[in-house]
Amino acid sequence: MSKHKIGWLNIPGYKGETWNPVVGCSKVSAGCENCYAEAMAKRLKSMGLPQYQDVVDDNGWTGVVAEVQGTLRKPLHWKKPRAIFVCSMGDLFHESVSESAIDWVYTTMAQAYQHIFIVLTKRPQRAVKWYRKRGFTVEYYEPFPNVWLGVTAENQETANKRIPDLLKVPAAVRFVSVEPMLGAVDLLSIPYNSLGALHKMNALNGYGGWGDYDRNKYKLDWVICGGESGPHARPMNPDWARDLRDQCKAAGVPFFMKQMSGRTPAERQDIPPDLMIRQFPKILEEK
C-alpha cells in the first residue's frame, strides 16, 4: 500500500485519502499565514476547476466556500478501508458552510462505516454549536465510532482557545495538530471557564476539567506535531517538539512527529532520531 504524503494518514490497515465536499476558507490566526491549501487552491483555479473559481483570488482566500455536491457520496464507493482527511482544502466548520452541508457530510461518514474520517478544524466553537443543536453531547451521546475530530493549535494562545471547545464535543478520537508549531505548547494547564471562574485542566488526562468524575470523556487521544513547510517556512525549535513529546509520553498519549520546519523536503524530513516517533491512537489497538 503506497504511503500518503500527509504522514498521519498512513494508519496501519487503512489507505490514506483526502475528501473535499467543501472547499474554501479564510485566515483566522498566525498558523494560517503561509497556508498550503490556499496556494494549492490558486493552482487548481488556474487549471479551471469550477469549485475553486470563487474561493480564491490574487490575494488568497476570499472567505467564500463551495459545497461540492458531486463528491458528497464518494466515500460510499470506496470499499477498502481508508483514513480520510475531511476538507483538506477548507474547514468543515467554517462560518460560511451551511448547516445542511455539514449534515450531509456527517450522514455520509455515518454510512461509510468501513472508513475512518478525520476532521480538522480551527473553529471548534461552531462544532460545539452544531453538535449540541442536534442533541449530541459528551454526557449523553455515544460518538460516531469512525469520526475523529481535531483542532489546529500552532501556539499556546490557540491551544488555550480551541482545546476547551474541542473537549466539549463527543468524538471517537479527539486530537490536536500542533502544526505549524510556532512556539512551545503546554497541554498540561489549559485554562477554561466554568460557572464564571477560571480553572486549568490537563488536556492529556482530563484532570482538573469538567470531567474529573469521568476523565476519559474529556481528554485528548492523540497529538500531532510538525514544523512549517514551503519557501516562507518559519523555524521550529526542536526543543518545543521534545517538550510536547515528553508531555505525551508521561500521560500515555500517542505522539506523531510529522516533520521539521524547512523550505525543502530534505530539511523537513531531517527529524532528529529522538523525535522520530509516529504513533497512532490506541483505539486502533482495541478494534
Residue 22 exposed, middle or buried by CB count within 10 Å (0-12, 13-18, 19+)? buried
Alpha carbon distance, N-terminus to C-terminus of the chain? 20
**What local confidence, expressed as pLDDT, does residue 149 receive?**
98
- Tell me if 151 sits within 8 A of 163, measured CB to CB: yes
In a domain, 74, yes or no: no
**What local confidence, expressed as pLDDT, does residue 209 receive?**
64
Residue 121: alpha-carbon gap to chain centroid = 5
Set of cell numbers at residue 65: 466556500
Classify strands 147-152 and 173-178 as parallel, antiparallel or unpaired. parallel
In a domain, 274, yes or no: yes
pLDDT greater than 60 at residue 195: yes
**Helix intervals (H) in 134-237:** 156-166
In a domain, 277, yes or no: yes
Mean pLDDT of 25-44: 97
- Tell me if 99 sits within 8 A of 130, measured CB to CB: yes
In a domain, 19, yes or no: no
In a domain, 148, yes or no: yes
Share of the chain above pLDDT 70, in %: 95
In a domain, 102, yes or no: no
Mean pLDDT of 231-242: 96
- Tell me if 151 sits within 8 A of 176, measured CB to CB: yes
- Tell me if 261 sits within 8 A of 233, measured CB to CB: yes
In a domain, 96, yes or no: no
Set of cell numbers at residue 219: 481528554
In a domain, 83, yes or no: no
**What local confidence, expressed as pLDDT, does residue 206 receive?**
86
pLDDT greater than 90 at residue 218: no
Element (H, E) at 126: helix 124-133
CA-CA-CA-CA torsion sign (148, 153, 156, 157): negative
pLDDT per residue as tens digits for the range 141-155:
778 999 999 999 999
pLDDT greater than 80 at residue 61: yes
pLDDT greater than 60 at residue 250: yes
Report CA-CA distances (Å) from 206 to 79, 149, 232, 239: 36, 17, 37, 25
In sequence order, the 6+-apart residues with CB closer than 8 A to the CB of 196 are none
pLDDT per residue as tens digits for the range 82-130:
999 999 999 999 999 999 999 999 999 999 999 999 999 999 999 999 9
How many separate domains does the chain show? 1
Strand partners, 170: none
**What local confidence, expressed as pLDDT, does residue 287 receive?**
40
**For residues 114 and 220, what is the distance between their CA atoms, to the nearest angstrom?**
23
Mean pLDDT of 72-84: 97
pLDDT greater than 90 at residue 215: no
Share of the chain above pLDDT 90, in %: 84
Strand partners, 66: 23
Please tell me the pTM assigned to this model.
0.94
**What local confidence, expressed as pLDDT, does residue 216 receive?**
64
Q: What is the mean pLDDT of the chain?
A: 93
Give the pLDDT band of residue 5 (cuts 50, 70, 90).
very high
Residue 35: alpha-carbon gap to chain centroid = 14
- The CA-based dihedral angle spanning residues 246, 249, 254, 255, taken in that order and rounded to the nearest 10 degrees: 20
The whole domain housing 174 covers 123-286
**What local confidence, expressed as pLDDT, does residue 1 receive?**
61
**For residues 227 and 215, what is the distance between their CA atoms, to the nearest angstrom?**
30
